[in-house]
Amino acid sequence: MRKRDNKVPDENIQKTLDSAANGSFTMKVSVSMITYNHEKFIAKALDSILMQRTNFDYEIVVGEDCSTDNTRNILLGYQERFPDKLRLFLNEQNIGMHRNNEQTLESCKGEYVAILEGDDYWTSPDKLQKQVDFLDKHPECVICFHNVMEFYEDGSREPHPFHENLKKEVFTVEDLLAGNFIPTLSSMFRNGITKVPELFSLLPMGDWPFHIFTALHGKIGYINEVMAVHVHHREGVWFTMAQTQNWVESHKASIIVYDYLYAHLGAKYRPMIARLLHELCHRLAREYEKRGELANARKYAVMAFSRHFLMNKELSKQLVRLYAPMLYKSVKMLQKTAYSVIKKVTSGCSSS
């Protein structure tokens, strides 16, 4: 049995290290891929996995969710060519992204699991090797991720790195709670560590909270290198969410996730999550007020206070402005008048 490293902060990491040392994992890495109607992209995604140069065995585990296009036939063709590398789970009916992802991850046999969805692709042939080397060298880390290039199929934006200037090498769960910075297609994590609570599959997003529950058991390592491409296309799950007009919907989804995390992460993280919820609700209230949607502005302004009874000067002013606009205008007028009087008095005293 491997001796515990002083840098290892969590017994669950030690269990996976012991399992690896005892040969419980059948291979070093499982690449988990879910796909649905990705006929335009799936071949490029698979080729980017198959080009990996490694000194270890890896498998590709694919959950195909009853696509209505030619995705399944393409996968079957690859399985014929690479029967020892590719394992397919072909759903007889569409079970949805979250359940498909759960059953695919559960089928992974590797010590480490890397994620790639069927419409993205990797660009570095050494990606898997570099991440495995990092996690082997840093037993205190449970996740390793890297930078990726964001590509917009419709040409609406120029390609750009996900991270423009991220310098840190190691992050914590507190960092991740403040906002998601792990591109899904860049993630590699230790298998068998993450335990998610009930109703997790009902969340509007899965990758960010999954990484949070994983990071409860250790640190997050970063490789500052672009090694993959995230493809934005109109068939993508989050394409519409990423559009400017749906900024509000993405924030509402984040509120649902934070509420879930508040209920399940424990007392240690609740003050931080309460503050983040407060800021998120207040941001929504300001956006709705700017749009002239005052009913929604009032709703989220009240939520910003009532969820965890947090208040600040800006929110208090907004609540008065939304619920007592005449009073707010009168106060503003009085302030303006008082300022003018004080200015005149001050000017008079100066001249005399």
Q: Give pLDDT tens digits for 162-210.
A: 999 998 999 999 999 999 999 999 999 999 999 888 889 899 999 999 9
pLDDT at position 112 over 60: yes
Mean pLDDT confidence for 42-53: 98
Name the residue with higher pLDDT: 342 or 267: 267
Name the residue with higher pLDDT: 297 or 341: 297
pLDDT recorded at residue 342 = 61
* Mean pLDDT of the residues in the chain: 89
Q: Where in the chain is the domain with CATH 1.25.40?
A: 244-326
Residue 30's DSSP bridge partners are 59, 113
Mean pLDDT confidence for 68-97: 96
Residue recorded with tokens 């994620």: 115
Q: Where in the chain is the domain with CATH 3.90.550.10?
A: 11-241
Structure tokens given for 120:
């993205």
pLDDT at position 11 over 80: no
Minimum mean pLDDT among 57-71, 90-104, 331-345: which range?
331-345
Indicate the CATH number of 244-326 among 1.25.40, 1.20.1740, 3.30.310, 3.30.420: 1.25.40
For the entire predicted model, the pTM comes to 0.86
Name the residue with higher pLDDT: 255 or 335: 255
pLDDT recorded at residue 303 = 93
Grouping H, G, I as helix, E, B as strand and the rest as coil, residue 324 is coil
Q: What is the DSSP letter of 199?
A: T
Mean pLDDT confidence for 132-145: 98
Minimum mean pLDDT among 108-112, 187-191, 346-350: which range?
346-350
Superfamily of domain 11-241: Spore Coat Polysaccharide Biosynthesis Protein SpsA; Chain A (3.90.550.10)
pLDDT at position 269 over 70: yes
- Chain-centroid distance, C-alpha 180: 4
Mean pLDDT confidence for 37-49: 97
Structure tokens given for 114:
């890397």
For residue 285, give the nearest of 273, 277, 294 by alpha carbon: 294
Q: Report H helices in 22-144.
A: 42-50, 71-81, 97-106, 127-137
Q: In whole angstroms, give the CA distance from residue 216 to residue 178.
A: 14
Percent of the chain with pLDDT over 90: 70
Q: Give pLDDT tens digits for 271-322.
A: 999 999 999 999 999 999 999 999 999 999 999 998 888 888 888 888 888 9
pLDDT recorded at residue 14 = 80
Mean pLDDT confidence for 213-218: 97
Query: Is 140:9 a contact under the CB 8 Å cutoff?
Result: yes
Residues 6+ apart with CB under 8 A from 9: 140, 217, 218, 219
Minimum mean pLDDT among 100-104, 256-260, 348-352: which range?
348-352
Q: Give pLDDT tens digits for 119-128.
A: 999 999 999 9
